[in-house]
Amino acid sequence: MVQDGGFFVGGRWTNPRDRKRLETVNPATGEVIATFPQGTKEDVAAAVKAAKAAFEKWKRMPPPRRGEFLLEAARIFRRRKEELGRIVTMEMGKVIAEGRGDVQEAIDFYEYASGEGRRFMGYTVPSELPNKICFSIRLPVGPVGLITPWNFPIAIPGWKSGAALIAGCTVVLKPSSLTPLCGAKFAEVLEEAGLPPGVFNFVVGPGSTAGNALIRHPDIRAVSFTGGVDTGREVYKAAAERMIKAGLELGGKNPILVMDDADLDLLMDGVMFGAFGTAGQRCTATSRLIVHRAVYEDLLDRLLKRTAKLKVGDPLDAKTDMGPVASADQEKKTLEYVGIGKKEGDKLLIGGGKLRGGAYDRGFFVEPTIFEVKSEKRLAMEEIFGPVLSVIKVKDYGEAVAVANSVEYGLSSSIYTNDVRRAFAAMQDLEAGITYINAPTIGAEVQMPFGGVKSTGPTDTREAGFTALDEFTSVKTVYVDYSGRLQRAQIDTEKLVRE
């Protein structure tokens, strides 16, 4: 049965019937699973108004008390994990184990963020003057807008909203139009957890209308965006015009460096998950395999054998290794890049086509694809966001690092080696926000910062971990002078030194 969704604003669900309806489609079957009204500028304004009205009371609630709401939400996510994991899989196509993992990330981060309510730390330093104390405190910036993508439709709203809510901000969430049902279920959980009305609000609509209205609304004091680089730049510009914070997590073209002493059996497990998990639709997906020439031929043989065994099909079947890409547009884009590779003379080793016949004809299924590529070619430089892996041969560690750093992105990176010197050198040399040693280019655990460099996003943007609060708080410096007289730093300190 097709579900009939709506907006969650000011603690109430609404479903305006005068709006054009947005359909969300199961990418494995082509079936419509839900419809939602498309939000307008006025709908966004109503959500922001509710967030603004709730802000003063929410920010004054002690952070440990705010953490109790998050911990209760985590309990509800855990209880509903199987249901929500299946919805993730049906709405965007990742296999069921990853669908459950998507929900688990929200559980993990909400549990982590709830504890941050008791660690809402500034810092204290000694004053240069007597009888004076210096310390800093964190304050929430105000109502915030969260714009989230379709590839992690529960996890990423979890990262962003968990940090914003524990910081004392109120939230308006606008999810991708491909996965509004996951966003609605997320709102249901927070409603069930008992958040006060207006603290969390949810609207659906195209980025060009609802997203743009949210970013530009005068009462939104920070925006957090995950998506493409071009859109991210526009978000950044709009935020800069209004002098508000902008947290951006954008693209990736993530490399695994394979050295001549690598454990190739371990590597194969990592590459399969890194390149073809979520059908390559992760900003942290392994899209480049940069291989030392000494192990190149052996690695290619192993790689093709393993890839040929991957089972592509129904993502709800636990035996399936890779599901469909998320939409017709994603399928088209992936196949266009396959065509670019062929046109530029890259060597297609396996895959490269749309899977056809039977159930494949109803969905958006692309073969796991591998090319041999020169480092300067488009397949090696541009983010594809599909199950396409480029393999690049290099002569040594130095060339491998140079190739890895030659792209505009810098999110996740990896090196497989048993040489501790190379491993520690790579930690310094690779231009990325994350480096793995002997594991693929996956994301981060929730207690550690997640983010990148270069066009992946501003280096002051880090989600999760101990830096998560930075997006949603400002730092206030406080001085308490109990000397009973006027003291002037940089003036009276010279006198004190002489005395």
Q: Which residues are catalytic?
A: 249, 283
Closest to 215 measured CA to CA, from 48, 39, 67? 48
- Going from the C-alpha of 239 to that of each of 59, 100, 209, 245, 409, the distances in angstroms are 22, 34, 16, 7, 22
Dist. CA 43–CA 224, nearest whole Å: 19
Across the chain, which distance is largest between two alpha carbons, in Å?
90
Check if the beta carbon of residue 451 is closer than 8 Å to that of residue 249. yes
Dist. CA 466–CA 469, nearest whole Å: 7
* DSSP three-state, residue 256: strand
Token pair 């993992």: residue: 101
Check if the beta carbon of residue 469 is closer than 8 Å to that of residue 449. no
DSSP notation for 132-160: EEEEEEEEE-SSEEEE--SSSTTHHHHHH
Contacts of 38 (CB under 8 A, 6+ apart): 19, 20, 21, 22, 204, 205, 206, 209, 210
Q: Which residues pair with 144 in a beta bridge?
A: 171, 222
Dist. CA 161–CA 258, nearest whole Å: 37
Q: Any idea what DSSP says for residue 221? A: -
Check if the beta carbon of residue 486 is closer than 8 Å to that of residue 131. no
Closest to 186 measured CA to CA, from 112, 31, 81? 81
3-state secondary structure 37-105: ECCCHHHHHHHHHHHHHHHHHHHHCCHHHHHHHHHHHHHHHHHCHHHHHHHHHHHHCCCHHHHHHHHHH
Check if the beta carbon of residue 173 is closer than 8 Å to that of residue 200. yes
